[in-house]
C-alpha cells in the first residue's frame, strides 16, 4: 500500500499479504505494523496504543501500575524481515520452560500436544477432557483437549492449577500461544526497543483462575480490582462495551452500548457495534434494526451493508440466527505473524 493510515498517522509503503476471507474482518494487523515502535495492549479498557520511547533505558514502562505488582519478561531477539516474528518469551509450566507466543489474534491460550507431552501430560483420560476441535484461520479443525496443570509462571506472576487447552498443532518450534484471554485480563507494554514486556494483572478469569487465585511468584496476592474511572462519553462506553462483549458479558456490554448510542445518536458505528453484540445474544430483529439505522446514517459503510445482507439471505424474520460469519476461534498458524 502506498499509504496506510492508523489512528490518524500515515505509514508509507506497508506490505500486506492478500488471500483468504476467513478472518471475519477486513484483515489482520501483524508485526510489520505493531513492531514498528513500542505497543501497549490495554484491552481491559478497550485500547491499543502505539508509542515511541526515547532515553528510557531500564525504566519501568508500566507507567499506569502505581502500587500494582509489575511482571517483566525478556523477549527473544528477532531477526528483522518484511513481516517480523511474533512476540515470544519464556514461560514455565510445572517446571518445564516453554517458548510462548503472545498473540492477541488467538482467542484463547493453548499448548501444543508435543509441549504437553514434555510436561508429562498426554491426551488420555482421566488426565484430560476432550473438548472437540480447535480452529485457526480457515476451516480445518484439529483435535483439542483441556488439562489441569500444577502451576504456570509468566514472569513474576504465578497461577496455581491452571486449566489450559491442548491442541494437536505444530507452531513451528513454539510451544504455546498466550492469547486474547490473557490480554483481556492484563495490561501489557511491549518495548520492542529494549526487548522487554511489562505486565500488570487487571482482573478477571484466566486459566480457571478465581478472584482469590492470583498471586505473584513470591506468594503475594494480586489486587484484582479494576481502578479505571467509569466512562463519561460515548467513546468510553463503546470501548468498555467491546471489552465486556469479548469477555462474553453480553448484557453488560449491551447496557454500555445503549449509553454510547444515547450519547451519540448520529454515530453509525455504535449502532453497528451494538448489532454485532445483539447477534451474539440471538437478538436478530433488534440487530437488523441497528444495521438499518447505521446504514441510514452512513450509507457508505460497506461492513454494515454486508452484515445486513447476510441477515437477509438467512431470513431476517427468523427468531434466532447463528452468526456464522464471526471471527474464527484462534489464529494458530496464519500466513503472516498476527498479533
pLDDT value of position 339: 40
Nearest to 156 by CA among 220, 110, 105: 220
pLDDT value of position 203: 78
pLDDT higher than threshold 80 for residue 315 = no
pLDDT value of position 22: 63
pLDDT value of position 138: 58
Q: What is the mean pLDDT of residues 312-330?
A: 51
Confidence band for 262, pLDDT divided at 50, 70 and 90:
very high
pLDDT value of position 331: 39
Which of 323 and 272 is assigned the larger pLDDT? 272
For the chain, how long is the longest CA-to-CA vector? 60
pLDDT value of position 215: 60
3-state secondary structure of 131: strand
Q: What is the mean pLDDT of residues 244-271?
A: 90
pLDDT higher than threshold 90 for residue 295 = yes
pLDDT higher than threshold 80 for residue 226 = no
Give the integer Cα–Cα distance in Å for 64 and 45.
12
Q: What are phi and psi of 100, to 5 degrees?
A: -115, 135
pLDDT higher than threshold 70 for residue 240 = yes
Q: Average pLDDT over the chain, rounded to whole?
A: 81
**Residue 290, CA distances (Å) to 66, 158, 192, 234, 271 in order:** 41, 43, 41, 16, 5
DSSP assignment of 164-191:
EEEES---SS--EEE-HHHHTTEEEEEE
Q: Which helix (H) or strand (E) holds 31?
A: helix 31-34
pLDDT value of position 102: 92
Q: What is the mean pLDDT of residues 83-96?
A: 85
Report the interhelical angle of 302-314 vs 284-297 (nearest 10°): 150
Check whether domain 29-216 has CATH 2.40.70.10, yes or no: yes
Confidence band for 100, pLDDT divided at 50, 70 and 90:
very high
Q: Both ends of the chain: CA-CA distance in Å?
A: 20
* Domain ranges across the chain: 29-216, 234-314
How many alpha carbons fall within 13 Å on the CB side of residue 283? 14
Confidence band for 334, pLDDT divided at 50, 70 and 90:
very low
Check whether domain 234-314 has CATH 1.25.40.10, yes or no: yes
pLDDT value of position 319: 42
Q: Which of 20-29, 43-52, 65-74, 327-336 has the lowest mean pLDDT?
A: 327-336
For a pLDDT cut of 70, what percent of the chain falls above it?
80
pLDDT value of position 324: 40
| pLDDT tens profile 156-214 | 888 888 889 888 888 888 899 999 889 988 999 999 888 899 999 887 778 876 545 55
pLDDT higher than threshold 60 for residue 266 = yes
Nearest to 171 by CA among 222, 113, 226: 113
Give the integer Cα–Cα distance in Å for 54 and 226.
30
Amino acid at each position: 500500500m502506498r499509504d496506510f493510515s492508523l489512528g490518524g498517522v500515515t505509514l508509507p509503503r506497508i506490505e500486506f499479504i492478500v488471500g483468504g476471507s476467513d478472518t471475519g474482518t477486513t484483515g489482520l494487523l501483524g508485526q510489520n505494523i505493531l513492531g514498528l515502535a513500542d505497543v501497549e495492549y490495554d484491552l481491559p479498557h478497550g485500547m491499543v496504543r502505539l508509542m515511541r520511547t526515547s532515553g528510557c533505558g531500564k525504566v519501568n514502562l508500566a507507567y499506569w501500575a502505581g502500587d500494582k505488582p509489575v511482571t517483566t519478561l525478556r523477549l527473544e531477539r528477532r531477526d528483522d524481515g518484511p513481516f517480523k516474528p511474533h512476540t515470544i518469551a519464556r514461560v514455565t509450566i510445572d517446571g518445564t520452560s516453554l517458548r510462548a507466543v503472545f498473540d492477541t489474534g488467538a482467542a484463547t491460550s493453548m499448548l501444543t500436544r508435543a509441549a504437553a507431552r514434555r510436561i508429562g501430560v498426554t491426551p488420555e483420560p482421566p488426565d484430560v477432557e476432550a473438548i472437540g476441535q480447535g480452529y485457526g484461520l480457515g476451516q480445518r479443525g484439529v483435535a483439542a483437549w483441556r488439562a489441569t496443570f500444577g502451576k504456570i509462571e509468566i514472569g513474576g506472576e504465578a497461577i496455581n492449577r491452571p486449566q489450559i487447552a491442548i491442541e494437536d498443532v505444530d507452531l513451528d518450534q513454539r510451544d504455546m500461544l498466550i492469547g486474547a484471554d490473557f490480554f483481556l485480563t492484563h495490561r501489557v507494554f511491549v518495548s520492542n526497543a529494549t526487548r522487554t514486556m511489562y505486565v500488570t494483572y487487571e482482573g478477571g478469569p484466566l486459566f480457571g483462575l478465581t478472584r482469590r487465585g492470583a498471586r505473584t511468584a513470591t506468594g503475594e496476592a494480586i489486587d484484582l480490582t479494576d481502578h479505571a474511572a467509569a466512562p463519561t462519553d460515548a467513546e468510553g462506553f463503546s470501548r468498555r462495551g467491546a471489552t465486556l462483549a469479548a469477555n462474553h458479558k453480553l448484557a453488560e456490554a449491551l447496557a454500555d452500548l445503549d449509553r454510547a448510542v444515547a450519547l451519540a445518536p448520529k454515530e453509525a458505528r455504535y449502532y453497528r457495534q451494538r448489532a454485532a453484540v445483539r447477534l451474539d445474544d440471538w437478538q436478530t430483529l433488534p440487530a437488523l434494526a441497528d444495521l438499518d439505522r447505521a446504514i441510514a446514517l452512513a450509507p457508505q459503510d460497506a461492513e454494515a451493508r454486508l452484515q445486513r445482507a447476510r441477515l437477509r439471505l438467512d431470513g431476517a424474520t427468523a427468531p434466532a440466527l447463528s452468526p456464522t460469519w464471526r471471527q474464527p476461534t484462534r489464529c494458530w498458524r496464519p500466513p503472516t505473524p498476527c498479533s
